[in-house]
Amino acid sequence: MSRLWPWVRNPWFETVREAQRRSEQFLPPSVYSALVAGSERGRTPQDNQDAFAELEFAPHVAGHRAQRDLSTTIMGIPVSMPVMISPTGVQAIRPEGETAVARAAANRGLIMGLSSFASKTVEEVTAANENTFFQMYWTGTRDAMRYRMDRARAAGAKALISTTDWSYSFGRDWGSPEIPERMTLQAVYKMAPEGIRRPQWTAQWLRAGLPDLTVPNLTMPGEDAPTFFGAYGEWTQTPPPSWEDLAWLREEWGGPFMMKGITRVDDARRAADIGVDAISVSNHGGNNLDTTPASIRCLGPVVDAVGDRVEVLLDGGVRRGGDVAKALALGARAVLIGRAYLWGLAANGQAGVENVLDLMRMGLDSAVLGLGHSSIEELNARDLHIPDGFERVLGEVTEPAASR
């Protein structure tokens, strides 16, 4: 159709970068900036991407395999490729939010990670994707956390993700975006200058009846769902967890358990010691402490330390299937993606998320083909040129630099 009518844009996009460009055109500037921003100067989110580009493939020119198997399992759940949806809060960049993402992941045979700060309920999301992992922060009382876990379990969540890599570092050198607590008429009026510039975004929210932007998975019995900032306030007032607290959380859940946010070798060992099934090497997409190294730089040392005890995943900076292949070559079981699918959601709803996942699969398959393998299980460090000094070994006792 676009060839006959050149002014009609093809809904399919061919790169994640194009999805990002379209999301910037669709979303109000303040909403878009919330998707791309990191903390402070934003060095870490940039390094998350740049580090992948430093790793170079060593492809073969003959002997390629006609068939390639991209499937694997994540904590016992079969998936069509080693990619899962990372839990991100309040995906209300479109009214359908997490349910659209969950359906897209289900249609592609992938796991949905659902944030406790999501805009849709765990019951709605597990109905859309039976392979949903529920994510929790250490927030509120133990009784409240126990209730949330019971609710997720009753809804059919297959695993629990404990996110530990979000600190109180929230300042940004370029300013934090202003996001309304509730999509009221007053909020719409306040955002009118942006809404006028983005009429399609404004129209979809008007058609949806301006639903409240709340976090229903943090609702307690007999209470209304808190707003995002109300829930955020509870989190900031909850004392941070100890390792004993995290061991209690794992024991209380009783099923497959992932700890997300590891960059240090010593933390990885402690996580394995308390019995987690998987860890995700992650710096919260650069929204934690700025100048934390790219997560891919920390992956290899963590795999060396605990890869024989737990499944090791990677989260941060994944934008294409080649990035997935590089993470697997360094020992990751799978990767989690965040911004990439959110840009797809903004660009074209559920179909946009499926578009992003298809691009990931195509890129991964191309890498496995070029490297001469028949399965992702064959990917290894010999498929890469790893520059000297690429890795960051955090948490090991080393000689102080001043005394060398």
Q: Which of 275, 279, 281 is nearest to 297 (CA)?
A: 281
Q: What DSSP string describes 324-367? A: HHHHHHTT-SEEEE-HHHHHHHHHHHHHHHHHHHHHHHHHHHHH
Phi, psi of 277 (to 5 degrees): -90, -25
Beta bridge partners of 385: 56
Catalytic-labelled residue, pool 60, 64, 284, 385: 284
60 part of the active site: no
d(CA 54, CA 316): 15
Q: Are 81 and 110 in contact (CB under 8 A)?
A: yes
Q: How far is CA 152 from CA 88, 121, 127, 144, 161, in A?
A: 17, 9, 12, 12, 11
Q: How far is CA 382 from CA 57, 62, 378, 386, in A?
A: 9, 17, 10, 9
d(CA 218, CA 281): 26
Tell me the two tokens of residue 218: 């943090």
d(CA 108, CA 240): 36
Q: At what angle do helices 142-155 and 243-253 cross, to 10 degrees?
A: 30
Q: Which of 94, 162, 87, 163 is nearest to 125 (CA)?
A: 87
- What is the set of active-site residues? 284
